[in-house]
Amino acid sequence: MPTAPRVKVLSVECFESPYRLRLPFRFGVITVTEGRQAIVRVRVRHEDGREGMGYAAEALGAKWFDKNPALSDAQNHDQLRKALELTTDAYGAAPWLSAFDLYANHYRELLAAGAACGLNPLVTSYGPALIDRAVLDALCGIEGLSFWQAMQHNRPGLRAHPIAPDLQGFALAPFLRGLTPLTTLAVRHTVGLLDPIVALDQAAGTRVDDGLPETLEEVVAVYGNRHFKLKVSGQADADLDRLRRIASVLDRLPDPYVVTLDGNEQYENAEAIAALWQRMAAEPALRRLCEATLLIEQPIKRQMALAQPVAALARHKPVIIDESDGDLDAFPCARSLGYTGVSTKACKGFYKSVLNLARCRVWNQAEGRETFFMSAEDLTTQPGISVQQDLALVSLLGITHVERNAHHFIDGFNGRPAAEADAYLAAHPDLYHRQDGRARLRIERGQLALGTLAGVGFGSAVEPELGGTAAMPRADWPPHAPETP
């Protein structure tokens, strides 16, 4: 194919769609019972004069991008709205650029603009993370390509760029051509800190009874998962008790299972989480679970995570960063401290994920072995464009299992119009099915089938039904100090 086309962003519209959780979800210090999803619609003009619409969607995640307890959930939402506004203004004023240069040429500018109004890099990255996906979705639609085809032929125009100086000598185009998307992925089920492990007392009114699994036992029986992500709280005795109960369920499986541990920034240093691991390893009831553990995810608070080595923990299991992955310098910094992995999340930006995969290739070649890797994690990616774009990205990166939690904590397309759910079900019958009259994610033997993601567009050609969806309000950020009388 010829050189990557230049594009012009003509308009960006942002919407919000509320949803409720069927079960409370606790991670870190927060318990979530409801939320809001941001939906972005972008109009793009191709350099040949054709125009097209592109879409992206992502949860407005409170207490993940910025965990400052002094901020309310509403203020966290305003931070993310502000990130979208900053990106909208920058991209709208940009000259004709390739899709990648639109991202790369504004990368430092946006980080600086975010910092100037009190946004950390992870929050600021939320804006381009959504709008870049919508831009590429529009480009795919104009050129009649799937996301996988567009990336393999480098239609966004990825190239050596000063934002990633360590990749200056790396040939990105051949690297992209060599990526082979996966057509199935294993679902790594999230076990939140409040999640029931075994049978609930129906008579006591503790069950939801909506036809979906509620306990870990039921999840394993209904979905057939063999991959699990276990949250730990930082309270060692409580964590050990809960892990024993989890192991009592998973150890019944005749097949091998896989576990990752997510510390969600609950520990002050590597020694503290290493002490938990040593207690786990000494427990006969946790022997199989420990052997099944692949990695430990972001156990240390981000204020300290990239300020100290993690050798005390890394000698036991590989350690990865997630929340600390705020900018493109984070993974190289983490590597210098003993981390060997980084998460991919579409909410952090898909270009970052691709560049971090390239880094893994370079570093592993230098090491002569597969030391550095990426894991695929979730931010409540709901059915529709959000989960499909994230799955399309994980598939392209070649990661064989992915954390998924929205299908468990949210009932199907909760909060979205029935016509939209029906359209996604019709277009992606391998990914969804109708159950009890509702369109829900289809998980069979713990796997998701992704064949229909190969259609035109970034993971989907279905246009969200936005006629009845409220426009995103302007961000009230930075917060204004109350006026003195």
Burial of 289 (0-12, 13-18, 19+ CB in 10 A): buried
Contact assessment for residue 391 and residue 459, using Cβ atoms and an 8 Å cutoff: yes
Burial of 437 (0-12, 13-18, 19+ CB in 10 A): exposed
Distance CA 337, CA 115 (A): 25
- The pLDDT of residue 1 is 57
Contact assessment for residue 260 and residue 294, using Cβ atoms and an 8 Å cutoff: yes
Contact assessment for residue 59 and residue 379, using Cβ atoms and an 8 Å cutoff: yes
Written as tens digits, the pLDDT of the chain (485 aa) is 579 999 999 999 999 999 999 998 887 667 889 999 999 999 999 999 999 999 999 999 999 999 999 999 999 999 999 999 999 999 999 999 999 999 999 999 999 999 999 999 999 999 999 999 999 999 999 999 999 999 999 999 999 999 999 999 999 999 999 999 999 999 999 999 989 999 875 544 578 989 999 999 999 999 999 999 999 999 999 999 999 999 999 999 999 999 999 999 999 999 999 999 999 999 999 999 999 999 999 999 999 999 999 999 999 999 999 999 999 999 999 999 999 999 999 999 999 999 999 999 999 999 999 999 999 999 999 999 999 999 999 999 999 999 999 999 999 999 999 999 999 999 999 999 999 999 999 999 999 999 999 999 999 989 999 999 999 999 999 987 544 44
Distance CA 128, CA 327 (A): 12
Length of the chain: 485
446 φ/ψ sector (left φ>0, alpha ψ -120 to 50, else beta): left
Contact assessment for residue 57 and residue 379, using Cβ atoms and an 8 Å cutoff: no
Distance CA 297, CA 317 (A): 10
Contact assessment for residue 123 and residue 65, using Cβ atoms and an 8 Å cutoff: yes
- Helix (H/G/I), strand (E/B), else coil: 191: strand
- Can you say how many angstroms the Cα of residue 294 is from the centroid of all Cα atoms in its chain? 19
- Can you say how many angstroms the Cα of residue 150 is from the centroid of all Cα atoms in its chain? 21
**Nearest CA to 342 among 359, 328, 325?**
325
Distance CA 233, CA 266 (A): 6
Contact assessment for residue 134 and residue 103, using Cβ atoms and an 8 Å cutoff: no
Structure tokens at 65: 């991008």
**Nearest CA to 16 among 118, 88, 84, 103?**
84
- The pLDDT of residue 202 is 52
- The pLDDT of residue 32 is 87
Contact assessment for residue 410 and residue 25, using Cβ atoms and an 8 Å cutoff: no
Distance CA 208, CA 95 (A): 52
Contact assessment for residue 239 and residue 283, using Cβ atoms and an 8 Å cutoff: no
**Nearest CA to 291 among 280, 275, 302, 303?**
280
Distance CA 342, CA 409 (A): 25
How open is the CA angle 130-136-140, to the nearest 5 degrees? 145
**Is the entire prediction scored with pTM above 0.85?**
yes
CB-based contacts of 68, cutoff 8 Å, min separation 6: none
Contact assessment for residue 59 and residue 382, using Cβ atoms and an 8 Å cutoff: yes
Structure tokens at 250: 């998973």
Structure tokens at 270: 């590597």
Distance CA 9, CA 293 (A): 45
**Nearest CA to 436 among 209, 186, 189?**
209
Contact assessment for residue 294 and residue 316, using Cβ atoms and an 8 Å cutoff: no
Domains of the chain: 6-143 (3.30.390.10), 184-470 (3.20.20.120)
Distance CA 189, CA 216 (A): 9
Encoded amino acid at 110, one letter: L
Distance CA 167, CA 464 (A): 37
- Can you say how many angstroms the Cα of residue 27 is from the centroid of all Cα atoms in its chain? 15
**184-191/447-449 β-pairing:** antiparallel
φ, ψ (nearest 5 deg) of residue 59:
-65, 140
Distance CA 449, CA 455 (A): 14
